[in-house]
C-alpha cells in the first residue's frame, strides 16, 4: 500500500511539472520598435493581441516586448493621430511598426 501511495505521489508530481512546462511553451515573446513616417520612435503606442485584453505600450524609444499566446494571429497597433495597423504575427518574433499620420 505504501508503494502504491508513493507511486501516486510521484505521478502527480510529474504531472504538475509537465503541466507547467506545457504552459510555458504555449507563450512566445514578440518584440519590436514603432516609428513614425520620418523614422522617429513613437512612445506610448498601444499594441494589443487582436480579440484579447493582452497588450502593452511602447517605451520612450518606441520599443516593446509582449508575451502572446501561441494561438495569437494578429497584433493591433493603436496611437492617437495615427492610422491603426493590424499585422499578422505568423512565425515572426520581431514586428516593427511604421505609422503614417491620418
CA distance 92 to 72: 11
Q: How far, in whole angstroms, is CA 90 from its chain's centroid?
A: 12
CA distance 30 to 79: 19
Query: pTM, whole model, 2 decimals?
Result: 0.73
Q: List the chain pLDDT tens, one digit each, 102 residues.
A: 666 566 666 556 655 555 555 555 589 999 999 998 899 999 999 999 999 999 999 999 999 999 999 999 999 999 988 889 999 999 999 999 887 666
Q: What is the pLDDT of residue 9?
A: 65
Contact predicate 81/101, CB 8 Å: yes
- For the chain, the domains span 28-98
Strand partners, 33: 63
Residues in CB range of 71: below 8 A, 6 or more apart: 26
Q: What is the pLDDT of residue 3?
A: 62
**CATH number for the 28-98 domain, one of 2.115.10.20, 2.60.40.10, 2.60.40.1120, 3.30.70.20?**
2.60.40.1120
Q: What is the pLDDT of residue 78?
A: 93
Amino acid at each position: 500500500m505504501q508503494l502504491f501511495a508513493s507511486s501516486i505521489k510521484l505521478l502527480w508530481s510529474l504531472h504538475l511539472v509537465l503541466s507547467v512546462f506545457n504552459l510555458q511553451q504555449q507563450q512566445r515573446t514578440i518584440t519590436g520598435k514603432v516609428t513614425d513616417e520620418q523614422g522617429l520612435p513613437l512612445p506610448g503606442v498601444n499594441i494589443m493581441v487582436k480579440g484579447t485584453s493582452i497588450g502593452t505600450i511602447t517605451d520612450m524609444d518606441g520599443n516593446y516586448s509582449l508575451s502572446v499566446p501561441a494561438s495569437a494571429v494578429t497584433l493591433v497597433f493603436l496611437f492617437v493621430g495615427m492610422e491603426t495597423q493590424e499585422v499578422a504575427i505568423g512565425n515572426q518574433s520581431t514586428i516593427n511598426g511604421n505609422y503614417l499620420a491620418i
